[in-house]
Chain A
């Protein structure tokens, strides 16, 4: 059999495939003009999340926020949103946006999504949030909806406790913010000042540790002052005090500060 007689067919086939692919991929590719949010670029997905959170902050409609979030499949929305809040906080984005993300993350953290997320049809892979490695345990109180601080009523520190916990890898300033009824309050801004700088953080960005919880990592040997933006009196002289372990070895301890909003006077 003469193999050479099939050569034109093979050459033609290859030329045809090349031409077909060139036409299909370059000249006239399939156009997606009607895309879904799941296909958005990561930065736009982040903006979309922020927008959902801002709309939620305005309407307080959690069900609607959840159905909007479902348009971008994600295994753990609360964690993704709290991570995004921290990223945007670090990036200097408006406080309102960060607070909105924290509030929505907190609301989702205590209210698992009632919907089944739809599988992505675009091969999308949303960033998987890192899982928390800390072992601190904060007891969550059962609640029916996300409380917000009563406007105008400043928080007061009601408890200051040195935490000697070897499970905490670094010394922390931990804060718990609760309202007059004892319910944790997310979205409360705390300002930390030390000799060489300042930083701020919000409660609710780690919903797995409680929606009224927030923490800040201390450097050993540095003294910090902490003030809730919604509190009158700052807490001064916070530094990583030495704790003694069971074997006599010392390690830097953390502070747990509890702030509460006083009950409204009638």
Chain B
């Protein structure tokens, strides 16, 4: 079939442009996702992996068992996100049970959870 040389050249150019874009896209994604992905080196505690997060909560609970400073414990737990502090501790307890942590650790966590429950309940005691 006869093709106008000008049209053939145009088609070739378009094909090469599309091939270039496709190849570039692949290279760009490869570079951006694999070779040099965005690095999060300045993260906050709320991005910690579940095991580290649980360890963090355990440390808060251990510190609390030493100083009985509930306000300080609340401030420390707040670093783990906007969830209610009791939920954060309960999550840590669940995870600790799941990975079969020692009973002593569960007790420390549970003591903090109980204090947080009391704290949640206390405003309603004197309420209308």
Contact = CB atoms under 8 A, between A and B. Distances in A.
B63 A33 contact: no
Interface string A30-73: 10111111011110100110011011011100000000100100
B13 A5 contact: yes
Contacts of A68: 55, 59
Interface string B33-58: 10001111111110111101001101
Nearest to B58: A55
Interface string B1-32: 00000000100111011111111111111111
B118 interface: no
B45 A44 contact: yes
Interface in A237-257: none
Given A16-B28, A122-B39, A8 B45 contact: no
Interface string A123-139: 11000000000000000
A90 interface: no
The B interface is mostly helix, strand or loop, or mixed, namely helix
A115 interface: no
A51 B60 contact: yes
Interface residues on chain A, size class: 35 or more
B20 A8 contact: yes
A10 interface: yes
A132 B27 CA distance: 49
Nearest to B62: A55
B21 A30 contact: no
A39 B46 CA distance: 12
A9 B32 CA distance: 21
Interface of A: 5-6, 8-25, 29-30, 32-37, 39-42, 44, 47-48, 51-52, 54-55, 57-59, 68, 71, 94, 96, 122-124
Given A13-B24, A58-B67, 9 more contacts: A13-B20, A15-B20, A18-B28, A20-B27, A30-B38, A39-B43, A47-B76, A57-B63, A58-B65
